[in-house]
């Protein structure tokens, strides 16, 4: 298969982990006889430095034209001035919106051998297999007004707006129900309907969608309770569907179950067109450039790219199996284990060597 993949390494550890995923994709393409054309562009802070904007029109056009986009991470202290007019994160938000990627799929499952890497009690970590379906192009990330003002006495005020349209809720909850059919047929919709009007609309529309899916066991949960249940009884969840910001927060929390935020991949998809694949972690400026970042979330994102955008299921499974085998054999980056930790490159090599064995 021939495919055009746009690669946006971004900032901080982004380039290091993206390089790892590219090595894995190169190996898969040579072993399976594919031709992946990978084009790199600047995005985020590095694009601001070079072009004055976080995402140029050319880069956006190339992404829209690609079969899929692979992204590392954006952001960093250098661009963190609260008064800055341009921010690295704007590039990512524009990209998600312009590509129509309303759904962000974040699978969270625990690997038995990584229980020691999690600060949580081991018995809680058994049989955890959650798919978080995060709404990605609406809610407080995009709502207007979003602004600041200063009154005559110098008092400052800032506003963000959580806005949801009925059709935005409908399509994301529908997707969650459809995905649940291939899993345990259980959907938990998470909101804050006791307080927020946008959540009351969310709950109403979600209930309507649930009525159309009689085979799905559907329930609503308030986000504060969901945050607690994710830690106290994580194996009760199957598919968790929620709004943009709640999904962002709950997935960082859920990543603790797996031992590290560095382990988690994500796939952002829309109705059609290319998908965007990125780990859930950020640019981790504190460890950037040291060659010690965990490449697993990024490598598993590449697997999701093969599965969702290129329909290469067997290749995706090969990557996922190789990661799992490397973990079985005790390969760990420093976020998972401080002693005898592997570098990003050593971990990548460990995964690639198991990939090769797996295929041949």
3-class DSSP assignment, residue 289: coil
Q: CB under 5 to 8 A by kind: which of Mg ion, ligand IPM, none does 92 bind?
A: ligand IPM
8-state DSSP, 271: S
Smallest distance, Å, CB 291 to ligand IPM? Answer: 22
Please give the structure tokens belonging to residue 229: 């249940």
CB 153 within 8 A of CB 142: no
Given 3, 20, 60, 74, the residue binding ligand IPM (CB under 6 A) = 74
Site string for ligand IPM, 264-293 (x = CB under 6 A): ----------------x-x-----------
Helix (H) and strand (E) counts in the chain:
11, 12
Query: Can residue 75 be called a binding residue for ligand IPM (CB under 6 A)?
Result: yes
Rounded Cα distance between 358 and 336, Å, is 24
CB 130 within 8 A of CB 166: no
Is 252 tagged catalytic? yes
Q: What is the CA radius of gyration of the chain?
A: 20
Given 89, 98, 129, 253, the residue binding ligand IPM (CB under 6 A) = 89
Which CB atom, from 74 or from 299, has the smaller least distance to ligand IPM? Answer: 74
> How many residues interact with Mg ion (rule CB under 5 A)?
1
Please give the structure tokens belonging to residue 133: 């379906």
Binders of ligand IPM in range 193-252 (CB under 6 A)? 248
Is 126 tagged catalytic? no
Residue ranges of the alpha helices (H) in 121-239?
A: 166-181, 197-211, 223-232
Please give the structure tokens belonging to residue 331: 């390969």
Is 141 tagged catalytic? yes
> Which one of the listed residues 192, 238, 277, 335 is annotated catalytic?
192
Which CB atom, from 295 or from 297, has the smaller least distance to Mg ion? Answer: 297
Which CB atom, from 74 or from 305, has the smaller least distance to ligand IPM? Answer: 74
Which CB atom, from 39 or from 89, has the smaller least distance to ligand IPM? Answer: 89
Is 277 tagged catalytic? no
Q: CB under 5 to 8 A by kind: which of Mg ion, ligand IPM, none does 342 bind?
A: none
Q: CB under 5 to 8 A by kind: which of Mg ion, ligand IPM, none does 74 bind?
A: ligand IPM
> Which one of the listed residues 27, 67, 141, 238 is annotated catalytic?
141
> Which one of the listed residues 142, 248, 277, 335 is annotated catalytic?
248
Is 2 tagged catalytic? no
Rounded Cα distance between 171 and 6, Å, is 27
Query: Can residue 63 be called a binding residue for ligand IPM (CB under 6 A)?
Result: no
The strand pair at 35-40 and 68-73 is best described as unpaired
Binders of ligand IPM in range 92-111 (CB under 6 A)? 92
CB 166 within 8 A of CB 202: no
> How many residues interact with ligand IPM (rule CB under 6 A)?
7
Binders of Mg ion in range 241-260 (CB under 5 A)? 248
CB 265 within 8 A of CB 277: yes
Q: CB under 5 to 8 A by kind: which of ligand IPM, Mg ion, none does 253 bind?
A: none
Q: CB under 5 to 8 A by kind: which of ligand IPM, Mg ion, none does 259 bind?
A: none
Whole-number Cα distances in Å, 156 to 148, 149, 151, 152, 287: 7, 6, 7, 10, 35
Rounded Cα distance between 54 and 47, Å, is 5
CB 300 within 8 A of CB 320: yes
Residues forming the active site? 141, 192, 224, 248, 252
Instruction: Give me the residues that bind ligand IPM (CB under 6 A), please.
Output: 74-75, 89, 92, 248, 280, 282
Instruction: Give me the residues that bind Mg ion (CB under 5 A), please.
Output: 248
């Amino acid at each position: 298969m021939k495919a055009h993949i746009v690669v946006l390494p971004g900032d901080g550890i982004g380039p290091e982990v993206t390089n790892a995923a590219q090595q894995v994709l190169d190996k898969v393409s040579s072993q399976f006889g594919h031709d992946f054309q990978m084009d790199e562009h600047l995005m985020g802070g590095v694009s601001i430095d070079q072009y004055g904007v976080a995402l140029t029109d050319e880069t956006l056009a190339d992404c829209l034209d690609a079969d899929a986009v692979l992204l590392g991470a954006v952001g960093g202290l250098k661009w963190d001035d609260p008064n800055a007019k341009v921010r690295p994160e704007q590039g990512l938000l524009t990209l998600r919106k312009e590509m129509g990627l309303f759904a962000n799929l974040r699978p969270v499952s625990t690997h038995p051998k990584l229980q020691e890497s999690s600060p949580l009690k081991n018995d809680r970590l058994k049989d955890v297999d959650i798919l978080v379906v995060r709404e990605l192009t609406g809610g407080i990330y995009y709502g207007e007004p979003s602004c600041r003002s200063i009154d005559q006495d110098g008092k400052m005020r800032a506003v963000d707006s959580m806005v949801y349209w009925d059709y935005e809720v409908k399509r994301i909850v529908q997707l969650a129900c459809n995905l649940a059919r291939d899993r345990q047929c259980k959907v938990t919709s998470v909101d804050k309907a006791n307080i927020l009007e946008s959540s009351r609309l969310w709950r109403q529309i979600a209930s309507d969608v649930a009525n159309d899916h009689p085979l799905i066991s559907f329930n609503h949960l308030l986000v504060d309770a969901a945050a607690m249940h994710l830690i106290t009884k994580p194996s009760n969840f199957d598919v968790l569907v929620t709004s943009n910001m709640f999904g962002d927060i709950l997935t960082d929390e859920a990543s603790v179950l797996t031992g590290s935020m560095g382990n988690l991949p994500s796939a952002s998809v829309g109705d059609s067109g290319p998908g965007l694949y990125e780990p859930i972690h950020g640019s981790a400026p504190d460890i950037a450039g040291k060659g010690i970042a965990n490449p697993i979330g990024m490598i598993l994102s590449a697997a999701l790219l093969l599965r969702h955008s290129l329909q290469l299921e067997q290749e995706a499974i090969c990557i996922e199996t190789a990661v799992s085998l490397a973990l079985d054999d005790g390969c760990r980056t420093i976020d998972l284990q401080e002693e005898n930790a592997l570098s990003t490159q050593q971990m990548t090599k460990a995964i690639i060597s198991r990939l090769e064995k797996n295929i041949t």
